[in-house]
Chains A and B, each alone.
Chain A
């Protein structure tokens, strides 16, 4: 079937198998490889992207379901002049990433979290990111990053 998705502001229209998952459409058809796959069971959140502005796990959405909709991936977060999004900046500044594999999903989930809760407490950040797994950081600096991105002071 033909699927047309606006990916990071660019219209991508491709003939794909009905069963194609959104994550593969983004990686293969749209060439946006930042979004990663970390599991088979909607558990890890590495594939999180924004679908019409809301975070979703793109391994559990069919490309067909996103047909006619807009998707933002990590690549689409950076401004036209390379300006970092506040969440990107904060992840770097707070050392919220190590190997980087969970990072695209973690950043997109954080963007969504802050859209709904602009000044979260540390506990709210932890709960809000319950669907995103990271093996490297112990999450401490990820929490710092989200708190920082929200414009709140990071307790040292």
Chain B
């Protein structure tokens, strides 16, 4: 199933279930242990220098996947291989080196910076702990990093509360870049920002990616943003990838019924693309109770008996992507009618 010759990341069957604490009543009544099934068998490859967009509804496991990649969460089963090494085996300095190479930018710019450290201290600490620069060269490097994210140099002496949300997000980017990573995981990078500021931050990220040759995992729920940013896009539904493919192909001609519904739910500025048909019916099932078979069958207009029992696997599509649907061909056909 290898699409790329030398993927930077290769994720196999990644599963993460959070067990719920069982109360005394559950134990007495012999209720089975319940768990939140956040990720249910993710298979994914990310190649060097590419931007992979991850989209899906709230609660589908996007952020959980991002946090697994930087080892903030440990998966229940499955492996993440980074440059052909299983990241779960990294300990001590190896783990530190891994985290130096794979950095994360957080969603909330107000809680992701220590309120009691100046921007200079935040950057200096990163440079010092990872011994990126000798002590005498650190102030120059801090100035360089601030230039890189377009912040004035006197920002180093200020505390985070003196900055706006967009500026704080750029400080977060500078902190991640301080350790010269090769991969950035951006979890909802701009969802907490004003639209006018979103573009600035996203374009900065794109420029930096090109300049530094970064691999970017862009987790977002804003579809237009993901289309603008990504080379590849993966659509996640209830902790499984339902469709993955080159960004343009996927957005122009989505194959999986869920991708179709998700994309048609996005508002469009083009009047000809407007429609009154409800994009999708029903509610997202609880991850406590993931349906058997295809996770989407409860809401899918094409569902048949087979969908309720057998979970579809990702299958290559003629357009270059992959989709996990028993009716992939039918669904494309119906779309063309």
Do chains A and B stick together as partners?
Answer: no
A residues sitting closer than 8 Å to B (CB atoms) are none
B residues sitting closer than 8 Å to A (CB atoms) are none
